[in-house]
Structure 1
């Protein structure tokens, strides 16, 4: 039920070397694979008749993730992505499964072309492959932790995200495993097989995440990057506060794109880690902060509100984050 991708990057007539390379090739692909994972989950729900959940998954690529990669896409690819989003949403709302599948096939081809803008020397490097897989697995941990509690699914959307992110990571491992040392590659594959079984059993998040960390440890030996320990909620709060302060400075200075990127990073890279534990303490506050960081502040940027109004919104958000921090200390 996943979106098929031949990953035949060499078939594109346009040489990747002639295109501007993404600033951070690993983060870039990590976000693209999040898009694909959301659409994989959307397709599953289309096929099982769950239109409401399909629409929920479909909203993330265009509304949440696109801005995180837009600056690294060529003008042509930006236009193609926006057209793809419109086509997928139109087919979905018309409840035409075959049209949805066709639109997703076109989108996946454009994602492959976006990946092809990364220099071949990077794409062929096993260290790069290991870093991409590890990044996808980090996102998988976040979704599973928010989707399963007490041996049962507590949030179906996030559980499905974890399922398809894990499938995406496994697909990347299949492509790169022959480039990896046999021991590390084999241990990574074994850990992902175990994680898949635990996911199907809706096992405790600690057991599932332990297998992902086992895989990421092996991948870190390949990439040469030490696996960073879990930062913990206080570090994520500090990062969010720093990013929002940076966003305010950028916006006041007229750098709206940079302000938008800072807000996106605050949500995707840090607040998502806090959602599950904060929801246990205060679900209303968790949802309010999610809406603010995911949509509210970015909408103010799109509206080009006055710097004073944007600054006031940042202050209000920082105040709510202080309350949230106190709940998790």
Structure 2
């Protein structure tokens, strides 16, 4: 009895220790992710400085030159100071001096040298605090992409109103963070599944097009979320479970709205709705459909929804053709609505087989330890 209690106590102690270690590891990871995110935003601002200097806009270049020291450095300082106080002081001075070293009284060549020197400092800071292994980790980089895009959504929403740029610095911040996210994406895409890479690249194209058009913030968010979703899929992120029939209903609702908006001449909203129908809904049906033996149907639907319908909208196809394409997709969705309930039966069958297997194994185990007569 005492041995049993001792074993239980030891087991609980080990669980507590392991849980604490995992929690600490998660905390350290999150801290490094936040630190690295600030570095990436800083690099985005450097890009914005370069763009504005090329456009002879010294005023906006100065805004972006001062953003890192004014908005980002304070969040990085604790880690930098703990790792190396002298280097922390070097980072602070570099960012502090960047404004005057890229100002209107400095040649473009000298300004570029100051920016390049600052980039090297950022690279050193990453290695010092984050470390080379984590800095090169595909999943870590994927999370940086996602965070940059989330921030870009907020910046764009502040910067654009009613199709016009109302706050240029914020608009450029959004652009810079999208740009930086795409730079990281290009670094890791060879390590990601081809399908998700292809879709993410399409959404990047849509996102830049939305920026060029000064589209509604909602449309920009849809395309940025599309990239975030595809990146998450590519690195195996889990998502909240939803009843599969709910996805079917959402798709039907979005597609019917596509017809209305396109007929009204609102091409941007129609594109956004078509994207949501596919991205936020059909993609979650793909795996269950394939597992149920409907791979060809999935591929057909993907072509119709992700490529054909969206291309028709972008290329100003006649309203009647877009409506016909939507109707064709809806007919397919009716078939899928009939298939979806089967998933529950399949899951029950799999569970039943698993239970039977466990019972058989358990029975055999008991028989094997019974004394022979």
Q: What TM bracket, shorter-length normalisation?
A: 0.5 to 0.7
Give 1:270-285 correspondences, 5 Å limit.
none
1:189 corresponding residue in structure 2 = 201
1:27 corresponding residue in structure 2 = 34
The structural deviation recorded for 1:47 is: 2.8
Q: How far apart are the structure 2 equivalents of 1:38 and 1:123? A: 20
The structural deviation recorded for 1:65 is: 0.6
Q: Confirm or deny that 1:102 pairs with 2:109.
A: no
Q: Confirm or deny that 1:80 pairs with 2:87.
A: no
Q: How far apart are the structure 1 equivalents of 2:187 and 2:31? A: 21
Distance 1:183-1:56 versus aligned 2 partners, 3 A rule: same
| Cα contact 1:27–1:135 (8 A) shared by 2 | no
Q: Confirm or deny that 1:129 pairs with 2:141.
A: yes
The two structures, once aligned, show a CA RMSD in angstroms of 2.1
Q: How many pairs were matched up?
A: 208
Q: Larger deviation: 47-56 or 105-114?
A: 47-56
Greater RCO (Cα-Cα under 8 Å, separation 6 or more): 1
2:74 corresponding residue in structure 1 = 67
Q: How far apart are the structure 2 equivalents of 1:34 and 1:125? A: 19
Q: How far apart are the structure 2 equivalents of 1:121 and 1:58? A: 30
* Aligned with 1:116 (options 119, 127, 137): 127
SS at match of 1:212: helix
Distance 1:94-1:48 versus aligned 2 partners, 3 A rule: closer
Distance 1:25-1:75 versus aligned 2 partners, 3 A rule: same
SS at match of 1:95: coil
| Cα contact 2:165–2:171 (8 A) shared by 1 | yes
| Cα contact 2:58–2:104 (8 A) shared by 1 | no
Distance 1:201-1:160 versus aligned 2 partners, 3 A rule: same
Q: How far apart are the structure 2 equivalents of 1:119 and 1:90? A: 31
The structural deviation recorded for 1:43 is: 2.7
1:202 corresponding residue in structure 2 = 214
Runs of 4+ in 1 over 6 A off after TM superposition: none
The structural deviation recorded for 1:79 is: 2.4
1:215 corresponding residue in structure 2 = 227
Structure 1 alignment gaps of length 5 or more:
1-20, 229-329
SS at match of 1:24: helix
The structural deviation recorded for 1:114 is: 1.7
2:180 corresponding residue in structure 1 = 168
Distance 1:105-1:30 versus aligned 2 partners, 3 A rule: same
Higher helix share: 2
| Cα contact 2:156–2:174 (8 A) shared by 1 | yes
| Cα contact 1:22–1:28 (8 A) shared by 2 | no
* Aligned with 1:47 (options 50, 54, 62): 54
Distance 1:209-1:71 versus aligned 2 partners, 3 A rule: same
SS at match of 1:116: helix
The structural deviation recorded for 1:115 is: 1.8
| Cα contact 2:46–2:115 (8 A) shared by 1 | yes
Q: How far apart are the structure 2 equivalents of 1:121 and 1:98? A: 34
